[in-house]
Amino acid sequence: MLGPNGAGKTTSIGLMLGLRQPTAGQARLFGLPPTDRRARSRCGVMLQESGTTSVLTVREIVDVFRAYYPAPLPGERAIAMAGLGAQAGARVGTLSGGQRQRLYFALAICGDPDVLFLDEPTVGMDVEARRAFVTSVQTLAAGGKTIVFTSHYLREAEELARRIIVIDRGRVIADASPQELKGAVPGKKITLVTARPLAREALAGLPARVLDVTGERASLLSNEPAAVLRELFRRGVDVVDLEVTGADLEEAFLALTRREEAGA
Amino acid sequence: MSADARGATTAAGPARRAVAPLGRMLLTQARSEIRTRWRIPAFSVTIVALPVLFFTFFGLPYVKQTLPNGTNLGAYLVASFAAYSVGSVMVFGFGIGVSTERGLKVDVLMRATPLPPLIAILAKIINALAYALLSLVVLIVYAVIVGGVRQDLVVWADMVARLLAGSVPFIALGFAIGYTCGPNVAPAAANLVYLPLSFASGLFLPLSQLPGFVRAVAPYLPAYHYGQLAWSAVGAATEPMPVALAWLAGYTALFLAIAFRAYRREESRKFG
């Protein structure tokens, strides 16, 4: 679930978990109300802005959470999957922000849940923690787990998700695979390097949106890259290097939210 | 366990439990509560040391005296400080504990787990009863050994049982403080409410030695009626037990109503 701050991602997760009550409609987990203990026993949860008591050790708090679930993972395994093996005996209060985030991941997976809800899981993680997290998520997904996560890092969604739901201000803007999402928006990015510094006017009137012009470099978004290039060559722009790529999710996302605004 | 294996067992029947056993949950939760509190000396040491200290200052000099009705004053004072002690475990334990957890947002994550709220509360009560018992045992052993206060073991056991069973209104008061006060305010609020309450109810000094207006107010305070439970164990109660219990039940309802209102208000704010 992808969207900017304030899009409604955390609210959506809260509704799915029964932490919030919908004003209309209903949420169901495994066909049960989300507050049902049988449904909760199959969920692992990582929330933003939640805490744990700080005087217990990592191993102790993981063991407490394991007792909530009918068939938990071995504690050491959950801790290792979260990349906290070296801190298993440390008190929660002594962990760094990134380690704490890993602990919440360990608490989310220790019940061996069928579905994981992760709200902004990588916020505060350092590069190494993030890499360990990505590996664990991929392992879990390969093992048949469903993982619902929110992010405003588009790369992260692109890297991890099979289905991306883009939301903004409480509304679904797109619901598609990363590939489909790319195909659905003005899809190509043209990056140019010219022999001489390029004036913005030289790019006026092209069937493209100019993203950036800096000295000899320019980048444009377009649905018709061939027409753009033909026109550039006709105008005698001295291109020395050229790259045409599929627009990444960040650009696709910007295009989607702007279209919404234009339509509203 | 692989996903395939689990799918097979689920399809085949009840090989996998749908939920974790509540007994194990309660046991684990209570143990972690007790362990958590043990590692916060500000709580564990205070809760055990203060009643002993107060008894030393206000009780020890008078242990050999006798009340007009023939009760040994030492036993009477142990009963008073025992009541003070259990009440303080409940008010401070729940008051500060609940507000701290709210401050750390521990409750947010717990709400999303399969732990039923009732089990979480029961675990807190077991935890509080364990510390109350510890504090009572230390106080009584101290009074017997250092103060030379003599009572049958049955009398002490009776007093402990009455105080633990009757501590419900102070659990409710703790919840009321915990849900109405933030983590920075709760310790002060608990002190401001509980210390004057104990004093004015005759738990520190016998009521006969307190000013007249305090003697007039005392019969309306919960700690006064709670003290009756302990005093009755040493034959020094000044009102019938049913009256004391009725007062305690009334205060329980009042404090629970305050706690519940604050809880609801916060829930609607936090979880919309």
B24, B109, B116 ranked by CB distance to A47: nearest: B109
Interface of A with B (CB under 8 A): 11, 14, 17, 19-21, 37-38, 40-41, 43, 45, 47, 49-56, 60-61, 63-65, 67-71, 104, 107, 111-112, 117, 143-145
Higher pLDDT: B2 or B102? It is B102
* Contacts for B100-103: CB closer than 8 Å, 24+ residues apart: B100/B183, B100/B186, B101/A53, B102/B178, B102/B179, B102/B182, B102/B183, B102/B266, B103/B182, B103/B183, B103/B184
Which residues in chain A have their CB less than 8 angstroms from residue B111's CB?
19
Which residues in chain A have their CB less than 8 angstroms from residue B44's CB?
none
pLDDT digit string (tens) for A41-91? 999 999 987 788 889 999 999 999 999 999 999 999 999 999 899 999 999
Identify the CATH class of A186-246: alpha beta
Q: How far apart are CA B66 and CA B6, in angstroms?
A: 72
pLDDT digit string (tens) for A225-262? 899 999 988 988 888 999 998 766 566 566 666 554 44
Asked whether residue B2 is assigned to any structural domain, the reply reads: no
- Under an 8 A CB cutoff, do B1 and A65 touch? no
For residue A241, the cross-strand partners are A193
Residue-averaged pLDDT of chain A: 86
- Collect all residues with Cβ–Cβ distance below 8 Å to B152 and sequence separation of at least 6: none
Angle, alpha carbons A105-A109-A114 (nearest 5°): 135
B133 SS3 class: helix
Asked whether residue B23 is assigned to any structural domain, the reply reads: yes
pLDDT digit string (tens) for B86-98? 999 999 999 999 9
- H or E stretch including A209? strand A209-214
The pairing of strands A188-194 and A217-222 is: antiparallel
Domain ranges of chain A: 9-181, 186-246
A14, A56, A144 ranked by CB distance to B32: nearest: A56
- Under an 8 A CB cutoff, do A53 and B2 touch? no
Name the minimum distance, in Å, from the CA of A64 to any CA of chain B. 6
Q: Which residue of B has its CA nearest to A43?
A: B113
The pairing of strands A217-222 and A209-214 is: antiparallel
CA torsion B205-B210-B213-B218 (nearest 10°) is: 20
Higher pLDDT: A156 or B262? It is B262
Q: Which domain holds residue B215?
A: 19-271
Task: Name the residue with tokens 């692992």.
Answer: A44
pLDDT digit string (tens) for B4-34? 444 334 443 445 688 999 999 999 999 999 9
* Nearest CA-CA partner of B236 in B31, B108, B82: B82
* Nearest CA-CA partner of B261 in B250, B253, B249: B253
Segment B164-179 shows an average pLDDT of: 96
User: What's the N-to-C CA distance of chain A in angstroms?
Assistant: 22
Q: Which residue of A has its CA nearest to B97?
A: A53
- Find which of A64, A95, A105 to mutate to test the B interface (most B CBs within 10 Å of its CB): A64
Q: Which residue of A has its CA nearest to B115?
A: A68
CA distances from B193 to A97, B91, B198, B221, B234 (A): 37, 9, 9, 11, 27
Asked whether residue B174 is assigned to any structural domain, the reply reads: yes
Chain A interface includes B15 (CB < 8 A): no
pLDDT digit string (tens) for B212-266? 999 999 999 999 999 999 999 999 899 999 999 999 999 999 999 999 999 988 8
Which residues in chain A have their CB less than 8 angstroms from residue B36's CB?
53, 55-56
- Under an 8 A CB cutoff, do A68 and B113 touch? yes
Q: How many domains does chain B have?
A: 1
Cβ(B210)–Cβ(B67) under 8 Å? no
Asked whether residue B11 is assigned to any structural domain, the reply reads: no
pLDDT of B145 strictly over 50: yes
pLDDT of A263 strictly over 60: no
Segment B144-163 shows an average pLDDT of: 95
- Under an 8 A CB cutoff, do B114 and A68 touch? yes
* Nearest CA-CA partner of B49 in B19, B79, B81, B75: B81
Q: Which residue of B has its CA nearest to A36?
A: B114
| E strand segments, A33-184 | 43-46, 115-118, 146-149, 164-168, 171-176
Q: What is the pLDDT of residue B16?
A: 63
A137 SS3 class: helix
**For B35-102, what is the HEC assignment?**
HHHHCCHHHHHHHHHHHHHHHHHHHHHHCCCECCCCCEHHHHHHHHHHHHHHHHHHHHHHHHHHHHHH
Q: What is the pLDDT of residue B108?
A: 86
Q: Which residue of A has its CA nearest to B269?
A: A20
CA atoms within a 13 Å half-sphere pointing along the CA-CB vector of A133: 28
Q: What are phi and psi of A27, to 5 degrees?
A: -110, 140
pLDDT of B132 strictly over 90: yes
* CATH no. for A9-181: 3.40.50.300
A5 SS3 class: coil
Q: How far apart are CA A80 and CA A91, in angstroms?
A: 16
B1, B27, B29 ranked by CB distance to A71: nearest: B1
Residue-averaged pLDDT of chain B: 90
CA torsion B91-B173-A65-A111 (nearest 10°) is: 180
B6, B28, B40 ranked by CB distance to A67: nearest: B28
Residue B261 is encoded by which pair of tokens? 């209102």
Chain B from 173 to 232: CB within 8 A of any A CB:
none
- H or E stretch including A57? none
Asked whether residue B7 is assigned to any structural domain, the reply reads: no
pLDDT of A204 strictly over 50: yes
Chain A interface includes B24 (CB < 8 A): yes
Chain A interface includes B5 (CB < 8 A): no
